[in-house]
């Protein structure tokens, strides 16, 4: 009976964790973008750590690294596919570590943050610029960071757990 109670609580705790983390990322992303849009002029730069880290208000109608400019419809389709993958992994990871659900929440929050921007404005507001002089990493935002870090950790997890399974012969 106790096992059933634990299983029952994890059924709602896992989605709750996923959505709570996603909501936190989404709120942080939308709040920082709004602050940049109201506080820094378009294409204006504000030095944070000398030339190394700057706030640089830019609009990105493309994908990461400003690829595929103006491809809003393409990005909406890719986002729907990404959301489908998050649902798939959420179901596949049921009963495993709650960290996996939190990790999916990080990806979901970032995906939702950029999706809302694309629907509302037709572009995404980017504002974190790292580099020296004109040698700079492409400008990004919290949603971008969440997606990239979340997917990177997820891929590493999947690769490591698959290797462990192969080593164990399962």
Known catalytic residues are: 126, 144
pLDDT mean by block of 10 residues, the chain; 170 residues:
49 91 98 98 96 96 66 81 93 90 97 94 94 93 96 92 62
- The pLDDT value recorded for residue 95 is 87
Cα 97 to Cα 18, 77, 103, distances in angstroms: 12, 30, 10
pTM: 0.85
Q: What angle do CA 27, 51, 39 make, to 5 degrees?
A: 40
- The pLDDT value recorded for residue 6 is 47
- The pLDDT value recorded for residue 62 is 75
Residue 169 neighbours by CB under 8 Å, 6+ apart: none
Q: How far apart are CA 32 and CA 126, in angstroms?
A: 10
Element (H, E) at 126: strand 124-132
Q: How far apart are CA 59 and CA 36, in angstroms?
A: 11
Q: Where are the beta strands (DSSP E) in 10-118?
A: 45-49, 53-60
- The pLDDT value recorded for residue 155 is 93
């Amino acid at each position: 009976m106790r096992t059933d109670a634990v299983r029952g609580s994890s059924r709602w705790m896992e989605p709750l964790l996923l959505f709570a983390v996603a909501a936190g990322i989404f709120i942080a992303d939308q709040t920082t973008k709004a602050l940049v849009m109201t506080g820094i002029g378009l294409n204006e730069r504000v030095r944070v750590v000398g030339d190394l880290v700057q706030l640089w208000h830019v609009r990105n109608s493309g994908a990461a690294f400003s690829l595929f400019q103006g491809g809003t419809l393409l990005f909406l389709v890719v986002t729907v596919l990404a959301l489908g993958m998050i649902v798939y992994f959420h179901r596949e990871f049921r009963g495993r570590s709650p960290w996996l659900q939190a990790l999916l929440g990080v990806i979901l929050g970032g995906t939702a943050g950029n999706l809302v921007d694309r629907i509302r404005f037709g572009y995404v507001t980017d504002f974190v610029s790292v580099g020296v002089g004109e040698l700079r990493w492409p400008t990004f935002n919290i949603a971008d960071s969440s997606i990239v870090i979340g997917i990177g950790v997820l891929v590493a997890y999947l690769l490591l757990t698959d290797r462990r399974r192969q080593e164990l012969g399962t």
